[in-house]
Chains A and B, each alone.
Chain A
């Protein structure tokens, strides 16, 4: 019995603005999960706060919507309790790089078995347009009325610097590419990071759908092979008139994922381990 896209349908009012890049990302995720044959009850979506954080409110999956910036610690805890779940972590650029920056560093370092989709509209959508860590220099926002005084950071370069297992970028307007990257990321054991560019039609009048559309190109189509970290850095350096997307790095020799590091290749999730107080009787003896 196959999994259908409709299995993920959820009848709830959607409050995203018309033209929001999130709609395309949502459709693509549902399709990818169906393509991979993952039923809703085996998929775990952890999300933060922001317009991206609302995404699991719009499709049927297990959902833990936590606090701003705390997506990855929650996903880490869940992945240790039950490594059999397919875990997606979803949050925006403010969630992942401002409030949650420290967690992103350590989630990549631990190599938790999680696909992290960072929706990047280069602005704060939920709180109405303030500057983000990825806003370009000069962007005028309510909190940078004279223009963003500093350059935005490049999340792909950052994650390559952290030697994340899988680092990619896509665009909500390139659904086919996005879908294939999401499917590969979910199948990749370990921490898979996708920087998903998306327009915010309400609050970012510079980095619009058209602006992205004109600039994005697929590095893999242009011959980039994702098995070399140095070349991945080289490809990721570019930003401006041309914006590279695709899979920058897909670690060729997979490292063990975090739960394997802690437990070895466990069969039984911690969740299923029996609670038996007598398990500690040897420890009591050590105090005699």
Chain B
């Protein structure tokens, strides 16, 4: 039987040095080799300089989280060597740029590579040194050259075949140099490639694809990390699909434009992060009052205020839940892995239209920016459910149309302006069934109750949480979003060591799937919430909604992603109790 692969490659350097180029070339090649991978980036909010890294974890099993031990380090500057050499495992290899770095030892595990020189000589440009490094690493790990070369053709496709060929020459030069000059032992050799078709994409890309597959026709947003990549991905498709993208003058305008487009009949969304969403709050309330469907992608990063722009956190759960003046139903979804990001985005549009409510997709920087491998999404399984919309024929047969007709479900059939003989009337004021403003106390109560009745239907239509591990565990981890990856690995590791653990990851946080959740909780001895914030927001929500208090929490709020070692260490210490 083959050994289980579980390697980590780290590429470190300053912003602008090309760590992304090396990381992307290797990631694509590993994916085509047939390995599962999880790659994340750690970068500062600056365009040049600083210390950044791109870390790729490879495994024969699906992997959703990073490892603290690394097996191969590519260091493009002295800081990368100094900071990360201590993370190396036994037989770990360091490939470094010999023009930039003077290592203090000349151990054969240290491999000096004349990156710029080989890049210029074989690829024609010094920057090709990055491809030289990728070629050398691929060779050291024993990868098949044709896989790497296919990758280069793919990546440089838009820049012409000449560019691709120069890169291939540079990669070959790196490989040859490694054959001739590397005498160390590589602890992370690749086995025979496995032939399978894999996508390689980030959480942001999966969210964008899900939105497009789900029929999003309009997106207006103001750029903001960590959702800019999702916005730009959609903007790039505007000439391929019936789709409008507009960069709004501010987030207030963004959400109101989307609400306008949705009122007029098309699936619309906005994307932002916490402080941008702060500006959208009045629009959220307008969507609630006018019962206009809207999808809000809220990519979380540490706050308050500007916080740490390029870092990660899960601190907006209670904000998303309570934002907006007045009372109205909403749904909050939180994808945990890349496949789920795609399906969550599809589902968000269906929920929004079915219940005529705002629907949140709570993403976070770690999920948004990380690369995952995934089976190609099955587009034939995407179903578009637009809820109750009257056709032009139906409308023209009606003597009167009431946009806010009181119904048992609270859902009033929609119609769009210009599609029939009727006028479609809507207002952010309290209104009659016809959509005109009113202060009549009886009508007010009727409308308030109608809106809230939608919540009862919505609460019967919740995506169930993910369960992993033992059915009656000693310790149950309750988590959400990208923290799933670390929890999944923590449970696997603990159970391999004879522990009895399980995890439940909520894919929908509002309405909370109370019955299902209590079933899991009641079978566990100890309940621990795991999330990336300071105050234990999920634990607090659980207590308010079910009366169940978690035994403790594992919280992380340093802006860096959760990992399995941290979860297990904190558990061993007894966790924290943020709800006093």
Co-complex (A, B): yes
User: What are the interface flags for A61-105 relative to B under an 8 Å C-beta threshold, 1 for contact and 0 otherwise?
Assistant: 111111100100111111011101100000000000000001101
| A263:B244 contact, CB within 8 angstroms | yes
Would you call A221 an interface residue if the criterion is a C-beta within 8 Å of the partner chain's C-beta atoms? Answer: no
Given A44-B417, A280-B212, decide whether A63 and B426 contact each other with a Cβ distance below 8 A.
Answer: yes
Residues of A close to B198: CB separation below 8 A: 288
Given A74-B257, A77-B259, A270-B242, decide whether A288 and B197 contact each other with a Cβ distance below 8 A.
Answer: yes
Residues of A close to B261: CB separation below 8 A: 77-78, 80-81, 270
The docked-state distance in angstroms from the alpha carbon of A180 to that of B527 is 72
Residues of A close to B205: CB separation below 8 A: 287
Looking at the complex, which one of B213, B252, B424 makes contact with A70 (CB distance below 8 Å)? B252
Would you call A271 an interface residue if the criterion is a C-beta within 8 Å of the partner chain's C-beta atoms? Answer: yes
Q: Which residue of A lies closest to B383 (CB)?
A: A277
The docked-state distance in angstroms from the alpha carbon of A34 to that of B190 is 76
The docked-state distance in angstroms from the alpha carbon of A273 to that of B216 is 11
Residues of B close to A263: CB separation below 8 A: 244
Q: Which residue of A lies closest to B249 (CB)?
A: A106
The docked-state distance in angstroms from the alpha carbon of A56 to that of B426 is 10
User: What are the interface flags for B231-258 relative to A under an 8 Å C-beta threshold, 1 for contact and 0 otherwise?
Assistant: 0000001101111101011101110111
| A57:B264 contact, CB within 8 angstroms | no
Residues of B close to A65: CB separation below 8 A: 426-429, 437
Q: Which residue of A lies closest to B253 (CB)?
A: A73
Residues of A close to B436: CB separation below 8 A: 12, 57
The docked-state distance in angstroms from the alpha carbon of A271 to that of B260 is 12
Given A73-B257, A85-B264, A278-B379, decide whether A80 and B282 contact each other with a Cβ distance below 8 A.
Answer: no
Best-buried of A40, A49, A82, A283 by chain B (most CB within 10 Å)? A283
Q: Which of B60-68, B265-273, B531-539 contacts A (4 or more CB under 8 A)?
A: B265-273
| A82:B265 contact, CB within 8 angstroms | yes
The docked-state distance in angstroms from the alpha carbon of A76 to that of B212 is 21
The docked-state distance in angstroms from the alpha carbon of A55 to that of B213 is 40
Shortest A198–chain B CB gap in Å is 21
| A64:B209 contact, CB within 8 angstroms | no
Shortest A112–chain B CB gap in Å is 10
Q: Which residue of B lies closest to A40 (CB)?
A: B423
Would you call A282 an interface residue if the criterion is a C-beta within 8 Å of the partner chain's C-beta atoms? Answer: yes
Residues of A close to B425: CB separation below 8 A: 56, 62-63
Would you call A1 an interface residue if the criterion is a C-beta within 8 Å of the partner chain's C-beta atoms? Answer: no
The docked-state distance in angstroms from the alpha carbon of A56 to that of B434 is 13
Looking at the complex, which one of A49, A70, A273, A277 makes contact with B214 (CB distance below 8 Å)? A277
Restricting to B399-428, which residues have a CB under 8 Å from any CB of A?
416-428
Shortest B243–chain A CB gap in Å is 8
Shortest A50–chain B CB gap in Å is 12
Q: Which residue of A lies closest to B243 (CB)?
A: A270
Shortest B578–chain A CB gap in Å is 36
| B263:A277 contact, CB within 8 angstroms | no
Would you call B448 an interface residue if the criterion is a C-beta within 8 Å of the partner chain's C-beta atoms? Answer: no
User: What are the interface flags for A200-238 relative to B under an 8 Å C-beta threshold, 1 for contact and 0 otherwise?
Assistant: 000000000000000000000000000000000000000
| A81:B266 contact, CB within 8 angstroms | yes
Shortest A199–chain B CB gap in Å is 24
Classify chain B's interface size.
35 or more
Looking at the complex, which one of A46, A63, A102, A275 makes contact with B253 (CB distance below 8 Å)? A102
The docked-state distance in angstroms from the alpha carbon of A41 to that of B419 is 8
| A62:B379 contact, CB within 8 angstroms | no
| B428:A67 contact, CB within 8 angstroms | yes
| B240:A282 contact, CB within 8 angstroms | yes
| A41:B422 contact, CB within 8 angstroms | yes
| B217:A270 contact, CB within 8 angstroms | yes
User: What are the interface flags for A252-284 relative to B under an 8 Å C-beta threshold, 1 for contact and 0 otherwise?
Assistant: 000000010011000010110101011111111
Would you call B276 an interface residue if the criterion is a C-beta within 8 Å of the partner chain's C-beta atoms? Answer: no
Would you call B283 an interface residue if the criterion is a C-beta within 8 Å of the partner chain's C-beta atoms? Answer: yes
Looking at the complex, which one of A57, A67, A270 makes contact with B218 (CB distance below 8 Å)? A270
Given A77-B256, A278-B379, decide whether A41 and B421 contact each other with a Cβ distance below 8 A.
Answer: yes
The docked-state distance in angstroms from the alpha carbon of A61 to that of B257 is 20
Residues of B close to A66: CB separation below 8 A: 256, 259-260, 286, 428
Would you call A9 an interface residue if the criterion is a C-beta within 8 Å of the partner chain's C-beta atoms? Answer: no
The docked-state distance in angstroms from the alpha carbon of A75 to that of B220 is 13
Given A41-B421, A288-B376, decide whether A283 and B257 contact each other with a Cβ distance below 8 A.
Answer: no
The docked-state distance in angstroms from the alpha carbon of A62 to that of B265 is 13
The docked-state distance in angstroms from the alpha carbon of A271 to that of B264 is 7
The docked-state distance in angstroms from the alpha carbon of A66 to that of B255 is 12
Residues of B close to A40: CB separation below 8 A: 423
| A81:B423 contact, CB within 8 angstroms | no
Looking at the complex, which one of B286, B377, B419 makes contact with A67 (CB distance below 8 Å)? B286
Would you call A60 an interface residue if the criterion is a C-beta within 8 Å of the partner chain's C-beta atoms? Answer: yes
| A284:B199 contact, CB within 8 angstroms | yes
Best-buried of A42, A44, A76, A110 by chain B (most CB within 10 Å)? A76
| B249:A84 contact, CB within 8 angstroms | no
| A74:B246 contact, CB within 8 angstroms | no
Restricting to B458-502, which residues have a CB under 8 Å from any CB of A?
none
Shortest A272–chain B CB gap in Å is 9
Given A41-B420, A63-B427, decide whether A80 and B218 contact each other with a Cβ distance below 8 A.
Answer: yes
Shortest B239–chain A CB gap in Å is 9
Would you call B215 an interface residue if the criterion is a C-beta within 8 Å of the partner chain's C-beta atoms? Answer: yes
| A283:B417 contact, CB within 8 angstroms | no
Residues of A close to B429: CB separation below 8 A: 65
The docked-state distance in angstroms from the alpha carbon of A131 to that of B102 is 69
| A63:B435 contact, CB within 8 angstroms | yes
The docked-state distance in angstroms from the alpha carbon of A275 to that of B242 is 9
Shortest A273–chain B CB gap in Å is 3
A46-B260, A77-B220, A283-B240 are known; give 16 further A-B pairs, CB within 8 A.
A40-B423, A44-B417, A63-B426, A67-B283, A67-B428, A75-B260, A77-B256, A77-B257, A78-B260, A81-B264, A81-B266, A105-B249, A273-B217, A280-B212, A280-B213, A287-B376
28 residue pairs A–B, Cβ–Cβ below 8 Å: A12-B436, A40-B423, A57-B437, A63-B426, A64-B260, A66-B260, A73-B253, A73-B254, A73-B256, A73-B260, A77-B220, A77-B257, A80-B257, A80-B261, A81-B217, A82-B416, A105-B249, A262-B244, A262-B246, A268-B242, A270-B217, A270-B218, A270-B244, A270-B266, A271-B419, A280-B213, A284-B209, A288-B199
Residues of A that sit less than 8 Å from B by CB? 12, 40-42, 44, 46, 49, 54, 56-57, 60-67, 70, 73-78, 80-82, 84-85, 102-103, 105-106, 110, 259, 262-263, 268, 270-271, 273, 275, 277-284, 287-288
9 residue pairs, one from A and one from B, having the closest CB atoms: A77-B260, A275-B215, A273-B242, A81-B264, A77-B261, A62-B417, A277-B382, A74-B260, A73-B256
